[in-house]
Amino acid sequence: MRKHLLGAAFVVCVLLLSGGVAAARDFSPGAAGSGDPFFPLAGNGGYDVGNYGLTLAYAPSSNRLTGEAVVTATATQDLSRFDLDLRGFAVARVLVDGQAATFARDGQELVITPPAGLVSGSQFTVTVDYAGKPSVVTDPDRSIEGWVPTKDGAFVVGEPQGSPAWYPVNDSPRDKATYDFAVSVPRGLTVMANGVLLSHATAAGKTTWRWRESDPMASFLATATIGRFDLTQHSVDGIPAYVAVDPQFTKRQVLSKLPAAIRFYASIYGPYPFTAVGAIVDKAPGVGYSLETQTKPVFAYMPDEATLVHELAHQWYGDSVTLAQWPDIWLHEGFATWSEWIWSEHEGKASAHQIFTRLYDTPAGNTAFWNPPPGDPGTPVHLFDGTIYERGGMTLQALREKVGDPAFFKIMRDWAQQNRFGTVTTPELIALAERDSGMDLGAFFQVWLYQPGKPTTW
Ligand code: TRP
Ligand code: ZN
């Protein structure tokens, strides 16, 4: 608040000194959405979040979540008003820089009007107190996400639009932030969130788990998955590793592959990006997929080896290097799928070339296999179609065979390292591939990413 008064005083001085030439500040509302082609209302305009401090309490027996979110942000315009995304809940109170703010609900928007305008460039904090039953979000492809209750807790995933089901957020992949979690649950349950475990302490029958994600994270990658878990802690080359397994799974052999997979990907893509690794193996029967939640992917069942390494590879492609807009989803899924193949090749099983060849045998008449082309899902209904994964992975293998291994592996590594913690677009990848290979690849990518039907020449 003091900062803003100083800012206002500064403007007045400039006005006086310059004889009124400088324009008066013009405070206006931040946009209600960030304009994503698939999810136009997700995210908001006018500010950039630096950190989320989430203090939550969850009662599985009543499915009630009580939360206080402290969002630290910087205004990117002179703001009279701004939104956070939040689905459901009763909001008891909103403070901006400790002062009561007025607020209203409008669909997934929590519309906040601070007592005074926020000057562009200034940092501010928003405190939101909320409570209620968190929601399960159904996506255009009919899959579910958000806060999904399980037998012993909740499976918490947010891709592509589930995070507002459990905290107030600028739900755009372009606005990465750090996170502090303090989540209280009945004693005996474990909370698995992103980053490193700071502490867990029990008082009056409740255990509070504190986690910290100190690297920038896209909102869809946040989790606070709760359940009865066997939690083991070790480390992979000095990086703390947390593996949580629902006790009902007794066959856990596949998880022993985690350190080798992390080391292998680090050897080809560059250093592991984050301060923690791990896996959360839960039982969430209604959720058919796993998610690459940052530092610790979460699985709705005991994964097979391909699924495990897929989610680990996403830590480089998807988590550290993140799409700027959802239609570019192949930049996550094509890369993670090709990563499954190179792992198989590395293990002396089927090579990526062999897997490509087998898939390429799919007849052109099987249009569901070949369409939509991975660079253009068309609508969010097709965001996670098989073609995004398989033809996306094939695009990379075809690139490998076109430019040769040295240029290809340089592209993969440069992409991960030059865009670490960033957000990216497909044209940026094409430009990098052309730079690293010295080849004109416009036609190649046009055929593989954007042209419907089975590619024949490239
Ligand atoms: N990104 C997940 C993966 O690693 C899959 C996923 C997330 C998904 N959300 C989804 C799949 C919704 C289908 C529907 O593959
Ligand atoms: Zn994936």
Average pLDDT over residues 417-445: 98
Q: Read off the pLDDT of residues 370-401 as tens digits, 9 standing for 90 and up.
A: 999 999 999 999 999 999 999 999 999 999 99
What integer is the mean pLDDT of 91-109?
97
Ligand 1 atom index nearest CA of 291: 2
Location of each CATH 1.10.390.10 domain in the chain? 229-319, 322-450
pLDDT for 438 equals 98
Q: How confident is the model at residue 12, as a pLDDT?
A: 42
Ligand 1 atom having least distance to the Cα of 314: 4
> CB of 163 closer than 6 A to ligand 1?
no
Query: What pLDDT, on the 0 to 100 scale, is given for residue 25?
Result: 86
CATH 1.10.390.10 corresponds to the domain 322-450: yes
Position 4 confidence tier, pLDDT thresholds 50, 70, 90: very low
Give the model's confidence band at 22: pLDDT under 50 very low, under 70 low, under 90 confident, else very high: low
Atom nearest to 311 CA in ligand 1: 4
- Find the range with the poorest average confidence among 23-37, 103-117, 143-157: 23-37
For 27-224, the fitting CATH number among 3.90.700.10, 3.10.20.30, 3.20.20.70, 2.60.40.1730 is: 2.60.40.1730
CA dihedral sign, ordered 294, 406, 360, 38: positive
Mean pLDDT check: name the lowest of 22-36, 130-144, 321-335: 22-36
Contacts 24+ apart (CB under 8 A), 231-239: 231/190, 231/192, 233/197, 236/262, 236/263, 236/272, 236/277, 237/262, 237/263, 237/272, 239/272, 239/274, 239/275, 239/276, 239/277
Per-residue pLDDT tens over the stretch 280-334 = 999 999 998 999 999 999 999 999 999 999 999 999 999 999 999 999 999 999 9
Tally of CB atoms within 10 A around 30 = 21
Q: Is 144 in the pocket of ligand 1 (CB under 6 A)?
A: no
In the structure, what pLDDT confidence band is assigned to residue 18 with cuts at 50, 70 and 90? very low
Pocket-testing residue among 139, 141, 142, 159, ligand 1, by greatest number of atoms within 8 A of Cβ: 159
Q: Which CATH superfamily is domain 229-319 in?
A: Neutral Protease Domain 2 (1.10.390.10)
pLDDT at 272: 98
